[in-house]
Structure 1
């Protein structure tokens, strides 16, 4: 049996083709293909060639693929999902062999082979998802309406407060200004008028973490608040699950905090939720999608997951 797993968001689309023993036969990567509502031509311009490239690399025909699982940003609402699935399955010629879910769910499938697991992932956006049983994966807040604490946004706001006198200045202020390449008196105008400001704001997390490691009090408060909210989210999301559960904290922002942040999260999790075990994310989302594809085709998830994890470790 042969499976394809795809993960697609706003920034990138990644795909893997593997067999039922977890042997990876092809990998591809391209630009993002997230959708809003129904899939458009831009989505198909990315995904159709990607599937073709995967099959060409593996020297198999698309009709040989047993199942395809796609995790796609924009698959959020039940009233849209049936039509999204129909249109994508029809266009790709795999309607009966297609599983289409939110991209957060394939990220969850990459966390652990454990049946009970959860994920709090903070990168360009927030992913929160959990499951109690295989095949019953649930997105907790797919569009982050409740707004998980974002230390990047907090650092920018606190810098502005330090400039205008609403907060006592610390070294974090000068670090953020240096990162943004702007003088204090011009910060507000830069924030609203500089086209590149959004990119600088999105990339400020390493600045905050560096100041935190240097014991800056403002950075320490920001990181502590972020860690507390990540753990609170995990705790609330899994409150109704009986028994032990594995919980992972991942994504680019959290990864930039390094081992120190993971240790802080692990300690807070152990205190807040003793039945939970912190675990690193084992597989990238596209590999998680491949495990989901295998599950939908009737395979037990654990052997395929573990074989993909070993293949990934060997490739490193």
Structure 2
């Protein structure tokens, strides 16, 4: 069967592709994230995706929390094997993002989406830094930015901070009136809801609102530290090759601050779902040189 599957899922969304030996996408499906900490029905939703995409000869799934909590990881492997058979590999979602961004080469990936983590591979092996979750980690992530922005806005609204345009600018972006802010926040049933505020902060930073720029700069500082630490632990000498993934990394303030600390990034060779598809193609022994990677990148965007 000339079909393999790559799947990338994080805290907010899932993207899956089925490709052939030429790197052409035969089927694609998107859905909400398969975060086991956010929803108990992730196995059923993964089964729905598998049914939509059809049979494959191999699959690589990048799933949130994998390799972090033993019981969750074992459950993910069991569910994946039931759905896709023995030729399935489950990896952490940041691992497939790393594999795609650097096309399997040594270097560092700084990922900042709903959560955040740095992943590196070098002479001393694979290292990961961060990714401790939203309750006491994930610094610089969209959730971290969203929570910090909401906290700052609340301080402006109740007088703990002097008046500025930040709180009302954020509320305007959110489409929420000040008296309804608390209700909006507590109506969010997942990390993704709070994380969605980060994109609004990014737009305020683009408009040069000082508090928004400061928040995005602070996020970048956390992400740079994670990247530097991961590279050092993996035995990479600076300046090392590094790339990026995740929505936060599209912010101009974050990218500029990281470039100042780490040097110019290497544009991702493949999106995270492409990294999963590339790994699946390699698992079945297909030729996956530069031409294959270029073709796959053109297909998945």
TM-score normalised over the length of structure 1: 0.76
Q: For residues 58-96 of structure 1, what are the alpha-carbon distances to aligned partners after superposition, in whole Å with 9 as ceiling and x for unaligned?
A: xxx54xx1x31111123234743774365235413622x
Counterpart residue number, 1:273: none
Pick which of 28-37 and 238-247 moved more: 28-37
Q: Does the aligned pair in 2 maintain the 1:6–1:71 contact within 8 Å?
A: yes
Q: For residues 191-223 of structure 1, what are the alpha-carbon distances to aligned partners after superposition, in whole Å with 9 as ceiling and x for unaligned?
A: 665569987743333432333334332223222
Q: Distance between the aligned counterparts of 1:140 and 1:229, measured in 2? A: 11
Q: Does the aligned pair in 2 maintain the 1:75–1:101 contact within 8 Å?
A: yes
Change (3 A) 1:235 1:34: same
Q: Distance between the aligned counterparts of 2:204 and 2:271, measured in 1? A: 29
Structure 2, unaligned stretches of length 5 or more? none
RMSD across aligned C-alpha pairs, in angstroms?
3.6
Counterpart residue number, 1:163: 157
Q: Distance between the aligned counterparts of 1:143 and 1:118, measured in 2? A: 18
Pairwise CA distance, 1:314: 5.8
Q: Distance between the aligned counterparts of 1:202 and 1:171, measured in 2? A: 21
- What SS does the corresponding residue of 2:18 show, helix, strand or coil? strand
Give the paired residue count: 293
Alignment match of 2:94 (pick from 95, 99, 104): 104
Counterpart residue number, 2:195: 202
Q: Does the aligned pair in 1 maintain the 2:115–2:138 contact within 8 Å?
A: no
Superposition map of 1:55-74 within 5 A: 55=54, 62=56, 65=57, 67-74=58-65
Q: Distance between the aligned counterparts of 2:110 and 2:202, measured in 1? A: 19
Q: Distance between the aligned counterparts of 1:189 and 1:285, measured in 2? A: 35
Q: Does the aligned pair in 2 maintain the 1:126–1:148 contact within 8 Å?
A: yes
Greater C-alpha Rg: 1
Q: Distance between the aligned counterparts of 1:224 and 1:82, measured in 2? A: 34
Counterpart residue number, 1:245: 240
Structure 1, unaligned stretches of length 5 or more? 56-60, 271-276
